[in-house]
């Protein structure tokens, strides 16, 4: 069955180029009305230009779709509010938010400045907060919402020279893990994509040949699926790129559970280290103290 977004409104941040543009075009082709947000700054977060967002809107309209631009910065609380306000004022509702906007300031940690750290966090993690904080009351009131956050292999596994970027991208997973719980009773699903694509950001760290091959469109199917009404999963991380898709997950090993009857010392940890470190039988968690398997069983039993 074809996945349709007829009657729905989507907000895509950082949609003036690259992945954001590709998401916006696909959603619009499937019937969504799209708010195309882009400040129009450079890959390091400097400057502003209205042209990229306008151009994507023109592309959508030329193909028969509906779109409106927004030029606010996600790093501003008022900016996030204005993006959501644009959706409500223009189209009367908001169903989908894709937090895609990002910048890079790669530098070895011993040379990293406070400005390098703050700028990256302001766009990636605060930028996701500002938009979702404004969208959340809308989602709760209408008992529906679909969110995709953007992490990275740098945040999941780490990458030299990206302490600021990797930390901000790991924070996305923490945000998802809380919002998936807070949104569950309101039919608000929150998932995360870890994309690999040739964009303005990655062309600064990838060979040009790879940039040309890793088309953003190769990531799009996973994101479109996760923000569709048909997708019922929440709290999922999907790695997507180069035509490949896989799930990544934080899991909890069985470990050793001797209880609190007797205090242990470092030598006891040393003796049991291999068992503590083992991931045999490890399970993904839904929240602190509850496995995903147990959560899904409980949800199914409630109808």
Residues in contact with 158: Cβ distance below 8 Å, sequence separation at least 6, in sequence order: 166
Sheet holding 283-287, edge to edge: 251-252, 283-287, 290-291
Query: Cβ–Cβ contacts within 10 Å for residue 205, how many?
Result: 14
Per annotation, catalytic residue among 23, 91, 144, 165? 165
Q: Does residue 165 have an active-site annotation? A: yes
User: Based on the number of CB atoms within 10 Å of its own CB, is 71 exposed (0-12), middle (13-18) or buried (19 or more)?
Assistant: buried
Q: Is the distance from CB of 92 to CB of 85 less than 8 angstroms?
A: no
User: What is the SS3 assignment for 34?
Assistant: strand
The residues that are catalytic are 165
């Amino acid at each position: 069955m074809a996945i349709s977004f007829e009657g729905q409104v989507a907000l895509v941040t950082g949609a003036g180029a690259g992945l954001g543009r590709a998401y916006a075009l696909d959603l619009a082709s499937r019937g969504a009305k799209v708010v195309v947000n882009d400040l129009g700054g450079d890959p390091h977060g400097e400057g502003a230009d209205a042209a990229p967002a306008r151009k994507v809107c023109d592309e959508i309209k030329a193909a028969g779709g509906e779109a409106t631009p927004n030029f606010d910065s996600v790093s501003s609380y008022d900016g996030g509010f204005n993006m959501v306000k644009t959706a409500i004022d223009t189209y009367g509702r908001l169903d989908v938010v894709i937090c895609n906007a990002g910048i890079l300031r790669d530098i070895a940690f011993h040379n990293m400045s406070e400005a390098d750290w703050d700028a990256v966090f302001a766009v990636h993690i605060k930028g996701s907060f500002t938009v979702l904080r404004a969208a959340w009351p809308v989602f709760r009131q209408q008992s529906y919402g679909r969110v995709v956050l953007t992490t990275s292999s740098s945040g999941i596994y780490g990458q030299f020279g990206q302490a600021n970027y990797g930390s901000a991208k790991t924070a996305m997973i923490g945000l998802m893990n809380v919002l998936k719980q807070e949104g569950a009773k309101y039919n608000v699903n929150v998932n995360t994509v870890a994309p690999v694509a040739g964009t303005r950001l990655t062309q600064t760290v990838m060979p040009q040949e790879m940039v040309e091959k890793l088309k953003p469109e190769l990531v799009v199917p996973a994101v479109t699926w996760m923000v569709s009404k048909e997708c019922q999963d929440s709290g999922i991380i999907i790695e997507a790129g180069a035509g490949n898709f896989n799930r990544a997950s934080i899991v909890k090993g069985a470990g050793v559970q001797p209880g609190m009857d007797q205090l242990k010392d470092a030598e006891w940890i040393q003796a049991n280290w291999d068992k503590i470190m083992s991931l045999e039988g490890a399970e993904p968690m839904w929240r602190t103290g509850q496995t995903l398997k147990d959560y899904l069983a409980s949800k199914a039993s409630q109808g």
